[in-house]
C-alpha cells in the first residue's frame, strides 16, 4: 500500500433538506424561474442600524459608510457563511492551487477529472428547476414512476399520516468521463416511518468497502478486469405490500424487496451468496471464478472467467433494465484510476467540496491530522458548539476515511464526542480539515506484488483517554501486499497494563485476519502460508505463546484461550516489530 498524492477524484455530498416536496406530474412542471435573483447574504453586509453605527469607532464608521471597508459582525466568527462562491480578484495567503495539480495524470484521466469538477449538482428542487437539463431529468423520473404504476391515489384513512418525499440529483458518467445522463430520483422520507407500524424487517444491500478493497487487490495482483453496472429504477421493480403499488426509494422496505428479487435472479444463474459478505455473489466454473458485488443498485463484476462475465452481463440485461458503465472509473463517489502500475483510489473532489462547504478552502494547511497529547475529553466547564454541524462534519470525515487511513485515528477520536461536542472538539475537526488541504489528492494504491499473503499490524495506546483512562487499539491488514482494512477504536474496558491493552488489540486484529482468510477461501484463493500479525510489545507476544495460566492473564483469559487455539492450529504467528517502524493507527 502506498499513500500517493494524485489529484483524481471525489464525491458529491447529498445533504438532506428539511423541506418536503410532494410528487408532481411530469406535465405539471413549472417553467424554470428567473435565475437572476438576489442571492446576497444579509449576514455578510454592513448593517444599516443607526444604533450599531453609533457604537462603532468613528474611523470604522467612516469606512463603512464609504464602502471602502466591509466589516462583518463578529458574532459569526468561526461560523462559515451559507454560501461559498469564489471571490473574483480575492488573493489568499494559502491558495488551494498550491496543493492541487493534475500534472502527473494521463490526458484521458486529466480530462475526466476536469469534467467531474466542472459539474454542479443541485441539492434542492427549486435550484434544479432553473436548469432545463435537470427539468428533463425530473420529467423522465416521473414518466418512469407512472409507467411502473408506482402509486395510486387514495383517501387517507382516519388517524394515518402520509410519508413525505424529496428529490435527489446526481450525474452518471461514461467511461471516458463524459456525461451519460442527468439523473433525478424521487425519494421517500423513510426516516419518518415507525417500526412495527409502517415496517418490520429491513435489510439494505450495502457492500462492505473492505470487501471491495480486497477485490481490487486481487484484480491488481491477478490482472482481473473491472466492470461497472447500474440498475435503472431498481426499487420500482420490487413489489411492496403497502399503499404503493411498487417500492419507492427511501422506504425502509424497498432495499429488502429489491435485494430479494436480485438474489433470486443470481441464484437462478448459478451464483452463490458469499458467507463473508452477503452482497458478494460468486460462481466457480472450470477452476475459474466470477465475482459480483452490489451496493444498492450499483455493482462491480470481476474475475478471471471472461466468458462467464460476458454471459452474466447478457443475463442481467434480460432480467433488469441495466446500464453498462464500462470499466470501473467512479464508484460510490470514489474515483478509480488504473494503469500498468496498479489501481489507485482517491476522493480528491470530495475533499475539495468539503473544504469549500466549510469555508476552509483558503485556510492554512496543517502537517498532521491531530496534535500530539491532545487531551481531548469531556469537562464540566467546556463550551458547547453547534451539535448538528459537528455531527455532519464528522459523518463526512468518516466516509472520507474509506480511502484515507491517515486520518483514521483522528476521526475515531472526534467521533467519541458526537453527543456533546465542545469548541475544543470542533477545533480538532478543523485541524483534520486543515490537514486534508495539505494533500487533497492522497489515496490508496493497489500494486502487483506477485502473492496473496495476508499480514497484519496491531498496536495500542495504553490509557490514552484522559476521561476514563481506556486504551485505544488499532490494526492494519494487507492482502497481496496491499492495504485493505484498518480500524482504530477505543476499548470497552480499562486495561491494567500496556501488555493487556496490546493483547486485547491483538485479538481484534486476529478476528479481522480470520475474516480475510475466510473471504479468500470462498473466492478460491485459500492462503497457504501462515498469517503474520506484527506487534511491538514483547510482553503481549509472550502471553500469547505461553500456555501456563497465572494471575497475570486471568482477567484476559477468554482472549488468551482464543489466541491459543489459533496458534495451535498454526494459522498465525506473532513476529516482533520495533515501534518506530510499526504502522501507527492509535
Q: Cα–Cα distance between 203 and 187 in angstroms, integer?
A: 17
Average pLDDT of the residues in 466-478: 90
Q: What is the DSSP string of 481-531?
A: TEEEEEEEEE-SS--SSHHHHHHHHHHHHHHHHHHHHHHHHHHT----SPE
Written as nine digits, the cell of 233 is 429504477
**Statement to judge: residues 292 and 176 lie in one domain:** yes
What local confidence, expressed as pLDDT, does residue 573 receive? Answer: 82
Is residue 361 assigned to a domain? yes
Range of the domain at 379: 347-442
What local confidence, expressed as pLDDT, does residue 468 receive? Answer: 86
Is residue 190 assigned to a domain? yes
**Statement to judge: residues 161 and 306 lie in one domain:** yes
Per-residue model confidence as pLDDT tens digits over 259-306: 888 899 999 999 999 999 999 999 999 899 999 999 877 899 999 999
User: Within 10 Å of residue 2's Cβ, how many Cβ atoms?
Assistant: 14
Q: Are 533 and 509 in contact (CB under 8 A)?
A: yes
Q: Cα–Cα distance between 144 and 122 in angstroms, integer?
A: 21
Weakest-pLDDT range from 27-31, 120-124, 175-179, 411-415: 27-31
Q: How far is CA 341 from the centre of its chain?
A: 25
pLDDT band at 27 (very low <50, low <70, confident <90, very high): very low
Q: Are 300 and 227 in contact (CB under 8 A)?
A: yes
Q: Check whether 68 has a pLDDT greater than 90.
A: no
DSSP SS3 for 455: strand
Q: Are 487 and 474 in contact (CB under 8 A)?
A: yes
CATH number where 478 lies: 3.30.420.10
Q: Are 456 and 536 in contact (CB under 8 A)?
A: no
Q: Cα–Cα distance between 334 and 349 in angstroms, integer?
A: 9
Q: Are 357 and 436 in contact (CB under 8 A)?
A: no
DSSP SS3 for 44: helix
Written as nine digits, the cell of 366 is 496543517
What local confidence, expressed as pLDDT, does residue 165 receive? Answer: 82
Q: Cα–Cα distance between 276 and 217 in angstroms, integer?
A: 17
Is residue 315 assigned to a domain? yes
Q: Check whether 50 has a pLDDT greater than 50.
A: no
Is residue 96 assigned to a domain? no
pLDDT band at 25 (very low <50, low <70, confident <90, very high): very low
Place of cell 474515483: 335
- Of the three residues 324, 344, 364, the one that is the final residue of a domain is 344
- 3-12, 42-51, 373-382: which is most confident: 373-382
**What is the torsional sign of CA 44, 45, 50, 53?**
positive
What local confidence, expressed as pLDDT, does residue 509 receive? Answer: 92
Q: Are 199 and 163 in contact (CB under 8 A)?
A: no
**Statement to judge: residues 366 and 334 lie in one domain:** no
Per-residue model confidence as pLDDT tens digits over 479-536: 999 999 999 888 888 888 888 888 888 989 999 999 999 999 999 999 988 999 999 9
Q: Check whether 45 has a pLDDT greater than 60.
A: no
**Statement to judge: residues 394 and 267 lie in one domain:** no
**Statement to judge: residues 489 and 569 lie in one domain:** yes
Is residue 50 assigned to a domain? no
Q: Give the residue with greater pLDDT, 50 vs 348.
A: 348
What local confidence, expressed as pLDDT, does residue 77 receive? Answer: 52
Q: 3-state DSSP: the chain helix, strand, coil percent, rounded to 5? A: 35, 20, 45
Q: Check whether 70 has a pLDDT greater than 50.
A: no
What local confidence, expressed as pLDDT, does residue 524 receive? Answer: 93
Q: Give the residue with greater pLDDT, 202 vs 339.
A: 339
Q: Cα–Cα distance between 72 and 47 in angstroms, integer?
A: 9
Is residue 356 assigned to a domain? yes
Q: Cα–Cα distance between 381 and 423 in angstroms, integer?
A: 11
- Of the three residues 442, 473, 494, the one that is the final residue of a domain is 442
Q: Check whether 20 has a pLDDT greater than 50.
A: no
**Statement to judge: residues 301 and 436 lie in one domain:** no
Share of the chain above pLDDT 70, in %: 71
- Mean pLDDT over each residue of the chain, to the nearest integer: 77
User: Within 10 Å of residue 180's Cβ, how many Cβ atoms?
Assistant: 15
Per-residue model confidence as pLDDT tens digits over 75-105: 555 554 444 444 445 577 888 877 777 767 7
- Whole-number Cα distances in Å, 533 to 203, 221, 511: 34, 22, 11
**Statement to judge: residues 485 and 417 lie in one domain:** no
Q: Map 420-436 to HEC letters.
A: CCEHHHHHHHHHHHHHH
Angle at 534 between CA 532 and CA 539, to 5 degrees: 120
Per-residue model confidence as pLDDT tens digits over 200-258: 555 566 788 999 999 999 999 999 999 998 887 555 444 443 344 455 554 556 677 77
Q: How many residues does the chain have?
A: 586
pLDDT band at 36 (very low <50, low <70, confident <90, very high): very low
Is residue 221 assigned to a domain? yes
What local confidence, expressed as pLDDT, does residue 157 receive? Answer: 73
What local confidence, expressed as pLDDT, does residue 586 receive? Answer: 60
What local confidence, expressed as pLDDT, does residue 176 receive? Answer: 62
Q: Are 345 and 216 in contact (CB under 8 A)?
A: yes
Burial of 141: CB neighbours in 10 Å, binned 0-12, 13-18, 19+? buried
What local confidence, expressed as pLDDT, does residue 418 receive? Answer: 93
Share of the chain above pLDDT 90, in %: 33
**Statement to judge: residues 476 and 465 lie in one domain:** yes
Written as nine digits, the cell of 112 is 475526466
Is residue 245 assigned to a domain? yes
- Whole-number Cα distances in Å, 514 to 9, 470, 527, 551: 32, 26, 11, 28
Task: Residue 201: name the closest of 235, 241, 152, 157 by CA.
Answer: 241
- Of the three residues 317, 344, 371, the one that is the final residue of a domain is 344
What one-character DSSP code corresponds to residue 368? S
What local confidence, expressed as pLDDT, does residue 397 receive? Answer: 96
What local confidence, expressed as pLDDT, does residue 518 receive? Answer: 94
**Statement to judge: residues 334 and 354 lie in one domain:** no
**Statement to judge: residues 398 and 269 lie in one domain:** no
Angle at 10 between CA 183 and CA 456, to 5 degrees: 125
**What is the torsional sign of CA 59, 65, 70, 71?**
positive
Q: Give the residue with greater pLDDT, 354 vs 73.
A: 354
Average pLDDT of the residues in 188-208: 61
Per-residue model confidence as pLDDT tens digits over 138-170: 888 888 777 766 666 777 777 777 777 888 888
Burial of 167: CB neighbours in 10 Å, binned 0-12, 13-18, 19+? buried
Place of cell 476514563: 468
What local confidence, expressed as pLDDT, does residue 201 receive? Answer: 55
pTM of the model: 0.70
**Statement to judge: residues 108 and 157 lie in one domain:** yes
Average pLDDT of the residues in 7-12: 40
Q: Cα–Cα distance between 67 and 508 in angstroms, integer?
A: 62
What local confidence, expressed as pLDDT, does residue 543 receive? Answer: 80
Number of domains in the chain: 3
**Statement to judge: residues 571 and 510 lie in one domain:** yes
Amino acid at each position: 500500500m502506498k499513500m500517493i498524492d494524485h489529484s483524481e477524484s471525489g464525491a458529491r455530498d447529498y445533504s438532506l433538506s428539511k423541506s418536503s416536496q410532494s410528487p408532481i406530474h411530469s406535465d405539471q412542471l413549472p417553467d424554470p424561474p428567473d435565475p437572476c435573483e438576489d442571492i446576497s447574504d444579509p449576514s455578510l453586509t454592513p448593517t444599516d442600524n443607526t444604533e450599531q453605527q453609533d457604537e462603532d469607532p468613528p474611523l470604522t464608521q467612516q469606512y463603512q459608510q464609504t464602502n471602502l471597508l466591509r466589516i462583518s459582525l463578529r458574532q459569526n466568527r468561526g461560523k462559515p457563511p451559507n454560501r461559498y462562491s469564489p471571490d473574483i480578484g480575492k488573493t489568499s495567503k494559502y491558495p488551494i492551487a498550491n496543493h492541487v495539480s493534475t500534472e502527473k495524470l494521463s490526458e484521458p484521466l486529466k480530462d475526466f477529472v476536469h469534467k467531474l469538477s466542472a459539474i454542479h449538482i443541485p441539492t434542492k428542487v427549486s435550484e434544479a428547476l432553473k436548469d432545463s437539463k435537470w427539468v428533463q431529468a425530473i420529467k423522465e423520473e416521473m414518466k418512469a414512476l407512472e409507467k411502473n404504476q408506482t402509486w395510486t391515489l387514495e383517501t387517507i384513512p382516519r388517524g394515518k399520516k402520509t410519508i413525505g418525499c424529496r428529490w435527489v440529483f446526481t450525474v452518471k458518467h461514461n467511461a471516458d468521463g463524459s456525461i451519460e445522463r442527468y439523473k433525478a430520483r424521487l425519494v421517500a422520507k423513510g426516516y419518518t416511518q415507525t417500526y412495527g407500524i409502517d415496517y418490520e424487517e429491513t435489510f439494505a444491500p450495502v457492500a462492505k468497502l473492505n470487501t471491495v478493497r480486497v477485490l481490487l487487490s486481487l484484480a491488481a495482483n491477478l490482472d482481473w478486469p473491472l466492470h461497472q453496472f447500474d440498475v435503472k429504477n431498481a426499487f420500482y421493480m420490487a413489489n411492496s405490500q403497502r399503499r404503493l403499488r411498487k417500492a419507492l426509494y427511501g422506504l425502509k422496505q424497498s432495499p429488502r424487496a429489491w435485494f430479494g428479487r436480485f438474489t433470486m435472479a443470481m441464484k437462478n444463474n448459478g451464483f452463490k451468496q458469499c458467507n463473508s459478505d452477503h452482497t458478494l455473489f460468486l460462481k466457480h466454473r472450470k477452476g475459474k471464478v466470477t465475482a459480483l458485488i452490489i451496493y444498492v443498485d450499483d455493482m462491480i463484476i470481476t474475475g478471471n472467467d471472461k466468458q462467464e462475465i460476458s454471459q452474466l452481463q447478457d443475463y442481467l440485461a434480460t432480467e433488469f433494465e441495466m446500464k453498462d458503465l464500462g470499466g470501473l472509473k467512479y464508484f460510490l463517489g470514489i474515483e478509480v484510476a488504473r494503469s500498468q502500475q496498479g489501481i489507485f483510489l482517491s476522493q480528491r473532489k470530495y475533499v475539495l467540496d468539503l473544504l469549500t462547504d466549510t469555508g476552509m478552502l483558503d485556510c492554512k494547511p496543517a502537517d498532521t491530522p491531530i496534535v500530539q497529547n491532545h487531551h481531548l475529553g469531556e469537562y464540566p466547564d467546556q463550551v458547547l458548539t453547534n451539535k448538528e454541524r459537528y455531527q455532519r462534519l464528522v459523518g463526512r470525515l468518516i466516509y472520507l476515511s474509506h480511502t484515507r487511513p491517515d486520518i483514521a485515528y483522528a476521526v475515531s477520536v472526534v467521533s467519541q464526542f458526537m453527543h456533546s461536542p465542545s469548541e475544543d472538539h470542533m477545533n480538532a475537526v478543523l485541524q483534520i480539515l486543515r490537514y486534508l488541504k495539505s494533500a487533497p489528492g492522497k489515496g490508496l494504491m493497489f500494486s502487483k506484488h506477485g502473492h496473496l499473503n495476508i499480514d497484519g499490524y496491531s498496536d495500542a495506546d495504553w490509557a490514552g483517554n484522559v476521561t476514563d483512562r481506556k486504551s485505544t487499539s488499532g490494526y492494519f491488514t494487507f492482502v497481496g501486499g496491499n492495504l485493505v482494512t484498518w480500524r482504530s477504536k477505543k476499548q470497552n474496558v480499562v486495561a491494567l497494563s500496556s501488555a493487556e491493552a496490546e493483547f486485547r488489540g491483538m485479538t481484534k486484529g486476529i478476528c479481522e485476519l480470520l475474516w480475510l482468510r475466510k473471504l479468500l477461501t470462498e473466492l478460491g484463493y485459500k492462503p497457504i502460508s501462515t498469517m503474520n500479525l506484527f506487534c511491538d510489545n514483547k510482553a503481549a507476544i509472550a502471553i500469547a505463546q505461553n500456555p501456563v495460566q497465572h494471575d497475570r492473564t486471568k482477567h484476559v483469559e477468554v482472549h488468551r484461550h482464543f489466541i491459543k487455539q489459533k496458534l495451535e492450529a498454526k494459522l498465525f504467528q506473532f513476529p516482533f516489530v520495533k515501534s518506530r517502524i510499526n504502522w501507527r493507527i492509535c
